Amino acid sequence: MFTDTHCHLLSDDYNNINEIINNAQKNKVNRFINNGCDRKANEEILNLINKYKEMYGAIGIHPTEIDDINDDDFDFIEKNIDKEKVVAIGEIGLDYHYEGFNKEKQQEIFRKQLQIAQNHHIPVIVHSRDATKDTIDILKEYTVSGIIHSFSGSLETAKIYIKMGFLLGVNGVVTFKNCNLKDVLKNIDLKNIVLETDSPYLSPVPFRGTKNEPKNVYVIAKFLSDLYKIDINDLATITNDNIKRIFDI
């Protein structure tokens, strides 16, 4: 069985979450970490993890969702972070890709959430886009571990994150043509890798352009089992063991 360590299964994107979970189970994807990005998503995730046995939650404020947040949103995270099946603060981080976002505010909000994670001894799920250096520098200020979600950096960057105690989240991006991630991954031991989809985004080849679903973890697992020349069941065992090292799942 496989785990989707990073998806966004929310009613805004999916009319029928039951069906999405059934589709996943048919593809041997049996566990999910549903990631929040703002207050509304965080609240829905807390409800969904009560409803679905195989679903775990990460709650947090995404770096592109920081415009209207207030202290109450951090209190909400702090108040709910120790609840059963809430396994991480996420998705949090830095995104410098688009013009117009306030870097200083992103950094402040990232730090606030890292501080909560450190205080509560809970892992983080990190989004870092065009912001590698600041992400590494800020993470180093705290005693935290977790997942670098949608990792697509260089071998050197991968080694830094791994040394800091992070796992690398690999999704459909690895299947894209003209993507050199597979060459980087070949030099990284599988014990540092976890599987994810980032549903509804980043559908793998051959499903690009369609709405992604956790069932496609199987496509990514198959791609990696070919890349590493390892049996797909062994890959499932290794990546699930990796999750267990850091997450209370």
Residues that bind Zn ion (CB under 5 A): 91, 198
Q: Give the nearer residue to Zn ion in terms of CB position, either 73 or 198.
A: 198
Q: Give the nearer residue to Zn ion in terms of CB position, either 89 or 238.
A: 89
Q: Which residues pair with 2 in a beta bridge?
A: 29
Inter-residue contact 58 to 23 (CB < 8 Å): no
Q: Which residues pair with 124 in a beta bridge?
A: 89, 146
Q: Give the nearer residue to Zn ion in terms of CB position, either 170 or 230.
A: 170
Could you tell me the smallest distance in angstroms from the CB atom of residue 125 to Zn ion?
Answer: 8
SS3 category, 63: coil
Q: What letter represents residue 76's amino acid?
A: F
Give the span between the Cα atoms of 42 and 128, in whole angstroms.
20
Could you tell me the smallest distance in angstroms from the CB atom of residue 4 to Zn ion?
Answer: 11
Could you tell me the smallest distance in angstroms from the CB atom of residue 69 to Zn ion?
Answer: 17
Could you tell me the smallest distance in angstroms from the CB atom of residue 34 to Zn ion?
Answer: 10
Order across the sheet with 166-170: list the strands. 2-7, 29-35, 55-59, 86-95, 124-129, 146-148, 166-170, 193-195
Could you tell me the smallest distance in angstroms from the CB atom of residue 6 to Zn ion?
Answer: 6
**Whose CB is nearest to Zn ion?**
198
Q: Give the nearer residue to Zn ion in terms of CB position, either 198 or 213.
A: 198
Q: Give the nearer residue to Zn ion in terms of CB position, either 69 or 238.
A: 69
